[in-house]
Amino acid sequence: MTRLSALLAILAMLMPGGVAAAENIEGRASVIDGDTIEIHGTRIRLWGIDAPESDQLCRGDDSELYRCGQKAAAVLAGLFFAIQRPVICAPKDRDQYGRIVAVCKLGDPGPDIAHWMVSNGHALDWPQYSAGQYADAQRRAEGAGAGMWSGSFVEPWRYRACIRTGERPSECSDKAPFR
């Protein structure tokens, strides 16, 4: 009976709704992009936010284009370098690519990494998934002109929709008519 219980627990974790019951993932994190990290070979998508894609361009306060997706990843890597604590991720779900989606903190107790990224203007609250969890942080970042808010940008979800139509990153970064 014990083996059956263990097998059922493993199967529950592999089912779409079962990830929430999975144990925390803890360790040194490496940065994949502004909203994806890796711990012990496991890719983890930060819950509730969306950061610019690696090839996405934004305009700074000087109206010059810069690679805001690369900047978001660099800022996240800088956070991990500056505060060398283990990252602790509490799984909530799995995304369409099979990655674990989790709320991750820098140490225990520690700041919510997604909240930090939004607060500093390098990611957006993604209300479709967050139910507005980071909306206040986003409003403060926008008001302060932090990160991407110092210039102009296209929301990452709109950027991806534009790219899927075959447009080039430079075209999707500035116009992205897809809502």
What domains, with CATH codes, occur in the chain? 22-174 (2.40.50.90)
pLDDT at 34 over 70: yes
Instruction: State the Rg of the chain over Cα.
Output: 17
Asked, as a colleague might, if the bond just before 109 is cis with ω within 30 of 0, I would say yes
d(CA 42, CA 77): 17
Q: Write out the DSSP string of 42-57.
A: EEEEETTEEPPPTT--
- pTM, whole model, 2 decimals? 0.83
What are the distances in angstroms from CA 55 to CA 14, 77, 163? 32, 17, 11
Report the pLDDT value the prediction gives residue 119, as an integer from 0 to 100. 97
pLDDT-derived band at 108 (thresholds 50, 70, 90) equals confident
pLDDT-derived band at 9 (thresholds 50, 70, 90) equals very low
Give me the residue label for tokens 């909306």.
Answer: 135
- Residue 17: CA atoms inside 13 Å, Cβ hemisphere, count? 0
Least confident of 21-35, 37-51, 105-119, 163-177: 163-177
pLDDT at 5 over 90: no
Span 128-143, pLDDT tens digits = 899 999 999 999 999 9
pLDDT at 37 over 60: yes
pLDDT-derived band at 21 (thresholds 50, 70, 90) equals low
pLDDT at 179 over 90: no
Over residues 95-120, the mean pLDDT reads 93
User: Which residues pair with residue 143 across a beta bridge?
Assistant: none
Tokens of 38: 């890796």
pLDDT-derived band at 8 (thresholds 50, 70, 90) equals very low
Give yes or no for a contact between 135 and 150, defined as CB atoms under 8 angstroms apart: no
pLDDT at 20 over 60: no
- Helices then strands, each counted (H, E), the chain: 7, 10
Span 51-104, pLDDT tens digits = 999 999 999 999 899 999 999 999 999 999 998 899 999 999 998 888 999 999
Report the pLDDT value the prediction gives residue 73, as an integer from 0 to 100. 97
37 burial type by CB count under 10 A (0-12 exposed, 13-18 middle, 19+ buried): buried
Report the pLDDT value the prediction gives residue 175, as an integer from 0 to 100. 58
Beta strands in 34-165 (DSSP E): 36-39, 42-46, 49-50, 58-59, 65-66, 87-94, 100-106, 124-125
